[in-house]
Amino acid sequence: MIDLKPVEIVRELDKYIIGQDKAKRSVAIALRNRWRRRQVDDDLRDEIAPKNIIMIGPTGVGKTEISRRLANLTDSPFFKVEASKFTEVGYVGRDVESMIRDLVELTVHRMKEREQEEVMDKAARMAEERVLDLLLPKNPAKPTPMDVLEDDPDSEADSEAPGGTREKLRKMLKDGKLNSRIVTIDLVEQQGPMVEIFSNMGMEDIGMNIREMMGNIMPKNTKKRNATVEEALVILTQQEAQNLVDMDTVVKRAVEAVEQSGIIFIDEIDKVAVSQKGAGPDVSREGVQRDLLPIVEGSAVPTKYGTVKTDHILFIASGAFHMSKPSDLIPELQGRFPIRVELDSLGEKDFVRILTEPRNALLLQYMALLRTDGIELVFEDSAVSEIAKIAEDVNSRTENIGARRLHTLMEYLLENILFNAPDLPEKKVVINGNFVKDKLRDVVEDEDLSRYIL
């Protein structure tokens, strides 16, 4: 885990997220506490549980972005899931344990890719040797290496031992002179029929294990394929990289990373809150909460990579809570989310900053896109202010979708420019306040039209 002070975490989040200082401080403290826990003596370390967080606020104010940036910042295993997709055990849908299995799967895959990148140089050298073996066959009945050399007008006849011929071939290979030559390589394929396992609720891991077991039972078939030397080098390098990676070590490290520094972001937690006790869908919602409780409290979840303990995974939940409130969650679940932070709604000033300040600011994105067509796109201050003002106005009169409104406005505003950019004679396009007003006036003034278009 990267060692960052809370103030450094907030400073990094400020580069991408405008405002929401309370939420940033809360997640920064929670993250720092995870690092602090790892410095504590062993006898007390396991007793320190993570302080899970509930973020409350309307859509489009930065709840998901804060969690996603946090995971990227600390290089922690991260998985986002919507609580509304879960159902109580016994109902049709996904069970809550699946999010742990998905997090482990993603982490194993990511660590495997990293390990392969680290051994790629060695794999490339091994692939080169395999290609040279194909070009320098031991069977006399096959074309001799002299056939390869004679095809190259720049090469001289080589009367040295086979070792000298191999080095000459190696030089030609590195120079790309053999790229178009055809060689036959072996590809390993899994035999047996394609069987899809349909498993019941809570049985997803059994389905995966059955597929894996059948794959191990079925014999592997080696298929020969003709490819150019250039293609063969790529394929064989990937094969060698996979062979060099110790999957047992990868799985062990991945499971440890998930258990010690994993982050799960549960969005739409308000959708499973029960505002009043009753029958019907409320029963299933409360059931989801009760199924979620042991995962958040700390339990052992079976996965295809072994049992994973959730005691120290950090859970960050979020919801708009328009129709309910956090106190509508069952008391036991409320107790497992001790930190609650409310995010502010965004106004005109926030939209101006969102359009211009972050490293991935929306205006910078459109300017970069149009630069690929040779167009220099310039936004005057008056245009930025007008876009922000309209975004706030539309959000107040229709559904408040926060900063996501800016994406809709920008696409509608720049539609013609984006369409005609490759053929525009004028390579500099200036967007000012009057342009924004003229383009958006009719849509903004017609409330019914703005609901459908903006």
Coil, helix or strand for 377? strand
> What tens digit of pLDDT does each residue of 46-58 get?
888 888 999 998 8
- Give the global pTM: 0.77
> How would residue 418 be classed by pLDDT, with cut points 50, 70 and 90?
very high
What tokens were used for 306? Answer: 């072994």
Q: 283 vs 173, which has greater pLDDT?
A: 173
- Choice among 217-226, 296-305, 347-356 with the minimum mean pLDDT: 217-226
Q: Residue 48: name the closest of 58, 37, 56, 39 by CA.
A: 37
> What tens digit of pLDDT does each residue of 190-234 get?
544 444 444 444 444 455 555 555 555 555 667 888 888 888 888
Handedness of CA 297, 344, 25, 67 (dihedral sign): positive
- For the cut 60, the answer to whether the pLDDT of residue 380 exceeds it is yes
Give residue 430's pLDDT.
93
Counting beta carbons within 10 angstroms of the beta carbon of residue 53, is it exposed (0 to 12), middle (13 to 18) or buried (19 or more)? buried
Give residue 138's pLDDT.
62
Q: What is the mean pLDDT of residues 101-121?
A: 92
**CA–CA gap between residue 173 and residue 153 (Å, rounded):** 15
Q: What is the mean pLDDT of residues 444-452?
A: 75
Give residue 10's pLDDT.
92
**CA–CA gap between residue 366 and residue 381 (Å, rounded):** 16
Element (H, E) at 67: helix 63-74
Other CB atoms within a 10 A radius of the CB of residue 114 amount to 12
Give residue 374's pLDDT.
92
**CA–CA gap between residue 371 and residue 453 (Å, rounded):** 27
Other CB atoms within a 10 A radius of the CB of residue 97 amount to 23
Give residue 8's pLDDT.
92
Coil, helix or strand for 435? helix
Give residue 353's pLDDT.
92
Q: What is the mean pLDDT of residues 411-416?
A: 91
Percent of residues, the chain, with pLDDT higher than 90: 31
Q: What is the mean pLDDT of residues 90-96?
A: 62
Q: 436 vs 398, which has greater pLDDT?
A: 436
Give residue 146's pLDDT.
46
> How would residue 108 be classed by pLDDT, with cut points 50, 70 and 90?
very high
In eight-state DSSP terms, residue 77 is -
Range list of H helices, 119-202 = 120-135, 145-150, 162-174
Percent of residues, the chain, with pLDDT higher than 70: 82
What tokens were used for 372? Answer: 């690929």
**CA–CA gap between residue 271 and residue 337 (Å, rounded):** 16
- Choice among 101-105, 108-112, 180-184 with the minimum mean pLDDT: 180-184
Backbone angles phi, psi at 302, to 5 degrees: -75, 135
**CA–CA gap between residue 446 and residue 454 (Å, rounded):** 11
Other CB atoms within a 10 A radius of the CB of residue 12 amount to 18
CB 106 within 8 A of CB 79: yes
What is the DSSP annotation of 43-60? HHHTT-----EEEE--TT
- For the cut 80, the answer to whether the pLDDT of residue 336 exceeds it is yes
- What does pLDDT average to over the chain? 82
What tokens were used for 182? Answer: 């055809």
Q: What is the mean pLDDT of residues 160-189?
A: 78
Q: Residue 426: name the closest of 368, 366, 383, 376 by CA.
A: 376
Q: Residue 1: name the closest of 262, 311, 315, 265 by CA.
A: 262
Q: What is the mean pLDDT of residues 223-249?
A: 88
Q: What is the mean pLDDT of residues 271-298?
A: 76
Q: 427 vs 217, which has greater pLDDT?
A: 427
CB 288 within 8 A of CB 272: yes
- For the cut 60, the answer to whether the pLDDT of residue 420 exceeds it is yes
Element (H, E) at 54: strand 53-56
Q: 25 vs 277, which has greater pLDDT?
A: 25
